[in-house]
Structures are given as structure tokens and as C-alpha cells.
Chains A and B, each alone.
Chain A
């Protein structure tokens, strides 16, 4: 159960990081959007490290809390990634 929870959370975090990498391939008119995406990427990579460290501690509550925190951060930050996506170069102007 704990291993499944750990693996699912790490997979979800990895999927978010892959999504951010895809977004980073876009053209941005301003550097600030790219900087924000890189900060988000660092944040989620930090969450992966945190879950792995918690899993190495042989404490189930610690692992559950780390996974809960990571899932909560994904839920909280996904709308901001959507907002950043809309600040790529202007499309569909005609």
C-alpha cells in the first residue's frame, strides 16, 4: 500500500515535470514566463526528492504526509501552469 502510494505520487510528479518541459519548448515573448516555469520545475523536482527521502525513513505516516503534500501542491499549482501557457506567443489571430 505504502509503496503504491509512493510510486503513484512520484509518477504524478514526473508527469507534471514532463508537462513543464513541454511548455518550456514554447516561444515566450517575455523571459519572466520562462523563469516562472523553471521555478515551478525546481519546486516539483524538490517534491520528488522529498517523497523519496520520506520513503527511505521507514515511517508510514511520514510517507503519507509527503505524498499528501505533493498531491496538494499539484492541485494548487496546475491552474498557474495553465495561466503561463496562455502567455506564450500570440496564436489564432485570424
Chain B
């Protein structure tokens, strides 16, 4: 897992990926399809895993405070009840399983849990994009003063 793998660009990409994953999981629950490629991409993005390598352990994922915080908030937003440490543990375990082997041996309850997590994640990321501070136009508002004028 690379340092800072969940940077601003990755979180921006995850907005649509989390929604696509939730749609695919919803279709799987309704027995309209039997795979979820967008979910696999999302799991690899969140865990910082390359396609040909195994996912990091849960302990390694928990060491990334950014991922742990985002996952916790997403789990909380999923059913509007306060999330617990157990929810975070469950979702990280499921993410590692998905990144390693896809959706093999997933029960319907697991699918519903991951779908709700994806919806919570989408909500958190959309709010983050909506509240993002616009970079100030420093160059326009600041009078240009060459260093030479300061006598340096």
C-alpha cells in the first residue's frame, strides 16, 4: 500500500465508483447480474492495491487514519445510526476479501452491508466535493513585486 494512496484525485474518482458499485450490488441483490467490476475497482482503490498484488492486511489499512476515518463515517451514514468499531472492522474485512477474491462466498446480508457502505461512502465524498474550499486567486489579488525591489 503506497503512502497517501487515498489522495484528492483518488477520492474524486471514488465518487462515481462508489455509486456504480452500489448500483451493481443492488442489481446483484435483485438477481439481475452476478458480478460487480466497479466494486472490485473501488476496493482496490480504497486499499491501494494494484491489480496483480494481494490486498494489505486489516491492520495495515487501520494504520491509514484517512481511510479509517472515511470508512467509519461512511458506515455511520449508511443507516443513520452511530457506527461502531465492529462496523469498521467488518467493512475493512469485506474490502480486503473483495480486493483479493471478488465476491466469492458473499451472503445476501454481506451484499446489503457493502451496498449500504458504498452509498454512505458516496454521500461522504459528495459532501466533501461540495464543501471543498476553492483555491484562492492569490496571483490576481496580490500586487506583483519583483524581489529586486526589496534590495535582495
Contact = CB atoms under 8 A, between A and B. Distances in A.
A65 B122 contact: yes
A69 B23 contact: no
Contacts of B19: 50, 54, 65-66, 69
Contacts, number: 40
A59 B19 CA distance: 13
Interface string B92-124: 000000000000000000000000000100110
B113 to A, nearest CB: 14
B39 to A, nearest CB: 14
7 closest Cβ contacts across the A-B interface?
Answer: A57-B26, A65-B122, A53-B23, A72-B126, A59-B26, A68-B126, A65-B119
Contacts of B129: 72, 76
Interface of B: 15-16, 19-20, 22-23, 26-27, 30, 119, 122-123, 126, 129-130
A-side interface size class: 10 to 19
24 contacts: A46-B16, A50-B16, A50-B19, A50-B23, A53-B23, A54-B23, A58-B30, A59-B26, A62-B22, A62-B119, A65-B19, A65-B22, A65-B119, A65-B122, A66-B19, A66-B23, A68-B123, A68-B126, A69-B15, A69-B19, A69-B122, A69-B126, A72-B15, A72-B126
A61 interface: yes
Contacts of B20: 50
Contacts of B23: 50, 53-54, 57, 62, 66
A69 B16 CA distance: 8
Contacts of A68: 123, 126
Contacts of A59: 26
B137 to A, nearest CB: 12
